[in-house]
Structure 1
């Protein structure tokens, strides 16, 4: 395998590589089902431009056979490109987006993606930039982007050259689109997306306008046409062909349509294409394009993207190896892709869960809330490092509740997909408030949280609430293959705990006591004979037969979703001390925690148990074991290579785990303000704190050890013994120096 980092560095000029964005390696996570992409990405942007290599192209590509599980528009091992997509998701587990594919070709016009695709070489990527060479055509492709637009620069050989826009190909489960060639240099249209994770939520069109830096000598539209042959009296479909429509300037709609622009090019002639998108209208897509890219200045656009990344990444400065810097800053990079803005330059955005258009009034409106994943660490990370961003994300979530009646669960482009279980919007907002982010409508948020907690039927966020309110748990009796009654119950308990914490902070004492008591009902699912949190029937009897090992590798198993009983064994993050007592005390807990790792029942690639390496902190004198476990996981599962994530990044959750862990602290539970402290991966960390939200200016974390952390190592805060291996968020954000000796 080639050196990705070397290619990364060689692909960028020194004038561009200024701040910490120079350490970002966008190829990390593009293999091993990480589902990241290496394309040109702007922070928290609606648009991005990425190579699309999962259609056709040989044995390594299984897109057509395995489309049901493939959630990636780019796989590092694949080498057959069919275009550059302009709407992309990073680190998700189901196919979506990957649409608006632009493809350069040369020679005789070919409109069939199965044959016009090309292998590529000399691949390079960095923050805000991507390039490679198309082997078939001798074309060099370079990509960069802004918040709502993409810009591609193609260097052609002499001769006949073409730029194709394919609206048929894509990663989404939906099909259909429309286009209209406006002039020899402009095209507009839309493409349908939706049915994320095969849930029958509404679909939406994404609108676009694309412009070319050079007028085409010929334009046209095309569509895929069925061909039939006659067998006796019946007509039988047997193949498809591509039908061109040269010079066509009317609107065209269909499932498999596209357009081409042809040019006579000189050797090394460059043609730029800029494409703006909107979820509101073609007019807004055009306005986005005009505002963010009035010209075709590729180098300036790229430099603006680098500057935007540096402004964020430079808030964290570290002293250590280049390898560790690459891991850290790429992790932060991946944590700053989603949620992304969805409003246009005029503030318009699609209303949540309904038709119609809202306006953000000059604020950012965010979308893509994979909250079952990100409530655990992405949003706490943003709260610590980038509270201005997190505040806007909380405000967007509350606005969604005002529009639809419900907080987001797994929201995607204004659609609630209802993927996964629990009530994570409540968790995310309560945790943010407790960390000091309070500039949002707290009463509106609290109203939406209480609705989710109390409505027994037709509850979008807690569909199992009727049983939960009556029994104190979700019974296993009627669950489907992916419902997970124990998993659902545990998520409800965590949400109730966070609602209790939020209510207490708002002075709603009676509510706080009620929800705190409800959060303790996890004890109803504790089976002292197995030491597991076990599925229980509505009658109160345990589910049988019962195999705690069943559920590995994501296969369905009664009681659990995306995991087995071991993965959920300690998943009571809001009351780990209480669970330790149920398990028989400190020594019994240590024995069972060690067994989780030694038996292979810890899964670094999934969320329910990713805090487990830190749970040694809850036994006095054992926090050094957490440092050892965390380092073990970093070494085993993370690296500066395409398979350098343990699996699906889940819109930055795996990356946020790595970022926190390398910095030397981790939030033990949403709603609890303590960080577990472990040995950092750097000699020194300096975090610039937000003066708008926090009283401190800088936070320093120093590792004074010369080797791995051992028993007896001590943490100092402001040169005084901390007396604990935990420190509160409120203490950290006052600023100061934390050091490990």
Structure 2
């Protein structure tokens, strides 16, 4: 679909005039961005998304990806089998995408291969999605709140049906149960887990669904294996679906569902609201009663849009509608995860153990920290410190419950995906930015445990070698262990621990962990200029190909990249790395070569700060502006493929948001932002009065110089800035930054 048509569709849905009108939820729904265009409330547990990644034959061109499909929606696919109510955004491994509602007409069909439909006339805006289901002439509309979804299906005259499918989903787990409570209410649960095939994380999600109209008939179904006897040998099976009309007892199985049938008038609308909980069906019902006491679709939709405007309006920008769409959609994606986990009554599942906790503050989940500690959490700290404070408190509470800070936490389960100790960096960085209303002593204790415990260390499993050698050796490395990558993540965590120790008056700890953080030098190979794998004997890995891993193939020493992608990944000591690489001129040549040889990967995290490293070279910040401008033009756009790959729970979108503002945080634990030419002629950031002393921070950039390659000059509140950096403290005091 033409990107301008996308703009017309999304702006036609906006009536309140806030910045949500510029959001295009279709951005990232192609090119493996893994976002979805469904109805999403800010940082909400529930969302309602079209599900089009099952079945469909030629209509679903990417069906072959289903075995490793982390997306509930792919823009190129055209066969819809329902609307899922628990969804992840921008994630690279499959899970969730469950609790599917599907409207149909005519004789009852319970096989998703048959009842799915093509669709047209899609519209999407924050908190709203609609489409016409071509097979049935049904208009489907969905909206949502924090813990509930609401669907409105407008039917033609005749027999109409609503199906609730508990078999379909992205999760690797199977198993569900359901029970009709009355003719207009059904309750149940669906198993989730085995994220990235880590089989220790399994948990049910509970739901209650309620219908606005009593049906003519209702029931449940179950997919049954039909075994075939060929010459007395059982050789296989074909699936068949068995309906149970009017069945009111508990039904369990791997592939089950519920259905209702109605006699509808022409253009009669039937609404379905569904509440979820990770604690109990009773809590799911309470969530539903609390957030949706009635069936008021338009009211709920407006409430969602107002919630988005309240957040998006904290930043005002002056530029074209196209630029605003890119920016506000990026901000939108950064405010989906982490999302709340607790129920309306405060209940939530405890981390790493059985049982239920209760919190009067928001408890968050979905911590993709290997990705998000780099820029998402610094963005939240700057623009939405009240949200970040709750997220830090949640992470510290997880450590109190399980003994460990989160690494890649999902719905109260630690998946142990990726490497490093990113929670240490995230929490320390937040504290240094002024977010201090959390138990910092408990946080510090959990960080020290991760840094010091040698055996059975959930966060730093490579600690025995790391503490002995000062690096993680390549010996015994698995295909995705990444000894160099892991070492570099540990160095960054130790740097952040050192900075927090200094802020807490722990000088000895500061000196100790800072020394550890500088051990990256032991992996620097002067002959190749790379951070190179070593074995336990201190010998370089040989043979060594710096480009191996460029196409995501396993590369000894590196995670999801090659040696070039990790060459400058010492964000806490870029000046020191410049000297190791031979000084400013040599560093400039090698930094340019990273981009010019195609060894910069915009679609992954380790090297996303590299465009801003030019700022460390005197007189070269204009190169940062040029690189950023080129990368935005090449990898981002107002169309479904407008992200460079997995959004990684908002990380790629946050890169774009910061880049368009003309400021970028150089490293967790460092309070400097690199300065360069923004995409807008003017930016106004409204600062939180609760956390920061200034009212607003303004960035002014002459319109005629937006595409200039001339060296910039910066002034802050009328005084010249010698170096192209501004501190977090300067920003939160408020003022005016001018780019000349």
- Shorter-normalised TM-score: what interval? over 0.9
Give, in whole Å, the separation in 1 of the partners of 2:141 and 2:296.
Answer: 13
Structure 1 residue 184 displacement after superposition? 1.2
Give, in whole Å, the separation in 1 of the partners of 2:218 and 2:647.
Answer: 40
Which residue in the other structure is 1:470 paired with?
468
Contact 1:178 1:190 in 2 (8 A): yes
Structure 1 residue 545 displacement after superposition? 1.1
1:558 to 547, 556, 559: 556
* TM superposition score normalised by structure 2: 0.99
Give, in whole Å, the separation in 2 of the partners of 1:389 and 1:571.
Answer: 28
Partner SS for 2:65: coil
1:598 to 567, 589, 596: 596
Give, in whole Å, the separation in 2 of the partners of 1:720 and 1:491.
Answer: 37
Structure 1 residue 594 displacement after superposition? 0.4
Give, in whole Å, the separation in 2 of the partners of 1:148 and 1:139.
Answer: 26
Contact 2:9 2:124 in 1 (8 A): no
Q: Tell me, yes or no, if structure 1 residue 609 matches structure 2 residue 607.
A: yes
Which residue in the other structure is 1:299 paired with?
298
Contact 1:8 1:126 in 2 (8 A): no
Corresponding pairs, count? 739
Unaligned runs of 5+ in 1: none
Structure 1 residue 15 displacement after superposition? 6.6
Partner SS for 1:67: helix
Give, in whole Å, the separation in 2 of the partners of 1:8 and 1:255.
Answer: 41
**Counterpart mapping for 1:203-282 below 5 A:** 203-282=202-281
Q: Tell me, yes or no, if structure 1 residue 423 matches structure 2 residue 414.
A: no
1:634 to 629, 632, 635: 632
Give, in whole Å, the separation in 1 of the partners of 2:618 and 2:169.
Answer: 53
Give, in whole Å, the separation in 1 of the partners of 2:54 and 2:284.
Answer: 27
Structure 1 residue 233 displacement after superposition? 2.1
Which residue in the other structure is 2:687 paired with?
689
Deviation track 1:573-612 (CA, whole Å, cap 9, x = no partner) reads: 0000000100000010000000000100000000000000
Give, in whole Å, the separation in 2 of the partners of 1:211 and 1:28.
Answer: 32
Partner SS for 2:142: strand
Structure 1 residue 14 displacement after superposition? 7.0
Q: Tell me, yes or no, if structure 1 residue 435 matches structure 2 residue 456.
A: no
Which residue in the other structure is 2:576 paired with?
578
Partner SS for 2:35: coil
Give, in whole Å, the separation in 2 of the partners of 1:105 and 1:409.
Answer: 42
The change in CA–CA distance for 1:68 and 1:546 in structure 2 (over 3 A counts) is farther
Partner SS for 1:65: helix
Give, in whole Å, the separation in 1 of the partners of 2:388 and 2:321.
Answer: 29
**Which stretch of the first structure deviates more once superposed, 527-536 or 197-206?**
197-206
**Which stretch of the first structure deviates more once superposed, 404-413 or 225-234?**
225-234
Give, in whole Å, the separation in 1 of the partners of 2:369 and 2:630.
Answer: 27
Contact 2:14 2:20 in 1 (8 A): no
Q: Tell me, yes or no, if structure 1 residue 587 matches structure 2 residue 569.
A: no
Unaligned runs of 5+ in 2: none
Which residue in the other structure is 1:104 paired with?
103
The change in CA–CA distance for 1:5 and 1:399 in structure 2 (over 3 A counts) is farther
Give, in whole Å, the separation in 1 of the partners of 2:14 and 2:721.
Answer: 44
Deviation track 1:423-446 (CA, whole Å, cap 9, x = no partner) reads: 000000000000000110000000
Give, in whole Å, the separation in 2 of the partners of 1:682 and 1:175.
Answer: 48
**Which stretch of the first structure deviates more once superposed, 652-661 or 15-24?**
15-24
Structure 1 residue 17 displacement after superposition? 3.7
Which residue in the other structure is 2:622 paired with?
624
Deviation track 1:443-492 (CA, whole Å, cap 9, x = no partner) reads: 00000000000000100000000000000000000110000000000000
Deviation track 1:221-256 (CA, whole Å, cap 9, x = no partner) reads: 001011122111222223110000011000000000
Give, in whole Å, the separation in 2 of the partners of 1:322 and 1:11.
Answer: 12
Contact 2:6 2:639 in 1 (8 A): no
1:364 to 362, 365, 386: 362
Give, in whole Å, the separation in 2 of the partners of 1:131 and 1:439.
Answer: 41
Which residue in the other structure is 1:739 paired with?
738
Which residue in the other structure is 1:116 paired with?
115
Structure 1 residue 552 displacement after superposition? 1.2
Structure 1 residue 204 displacement after superposition? 0.4
**Counterpart mapping for 1:181-580 below 5 A:** 181-360=180-359, 362-580=360-578
Contact 1:56 1:64 in 2 (8 A): yes
Structure 1 residue 4 displacement after superposition? 4.7
Q: CA RMSD in A?
A: 1.1
Structure 1 residue 65 displacement after superposition? 3.4
Misfit runs of 4+, over 6 Å: none
The change in CA–CA distance for 1:709 and 1:719 in structure 2 (over 3 A counts) is farther
Give, in whole Å, the separation in 1 of the partners of 2:397 and 2:161.
Answer: 44
Give, in whole Å, the separation in 2 of the partners of 1:378 and 1:198.
Answer: 26
Partner SS for 2:68: coil
Which residue in the other structure is 2:665 paired with?
667
Partner SS for 2:322: helix
**Which stretch of the first structure deviates more once superposed, 533-542 or 704-713?**
704-713
Give, in whole Å, the separation in 2 of the partners of 1:155 and 1:72.
Answer: 27
Which residue in the other structure is 2:729 paired with?
730
Partner SS for 1:470: helix
Give, in whole Å, the separation in 1 of the partners of 2:118 and 2:712.
Answer: 54
Partner SS for 1:407: coil
Q: Tell me, yes or no, if structure 1 residue 83 matches structure 2 residue 90.
A: no
**Which stretch of the first structure deviates more once superposed, 647-656 or 2-11?**
2-11
Contact 2:54 2:66 in 1 (8 A): no
Structure 1 residue 8 displacement after superposition? 5.0
Structure 1 residue 202 displacement after superposition? 2.4
Give, in whole Å, the separation in 2 of the partners of 1:303 and 1:13.
Answer: 14
The change in CA–CA distance for 1:31 and 1:712 in structure 2 (over 3 A counts) is closer
**Counterpart mapping for 1:5-24 below 5 A:** 5-7=4-6, 9-10=8-9, 16-24=15-23
Contact 1:614 1:626 in 2 (8 A): yes
Structure 1 residue 183 displacement after superposition? 1.3
Partner SS for 2:66: coil
Structure 1 residue 710 displacement after superposition? 3.4
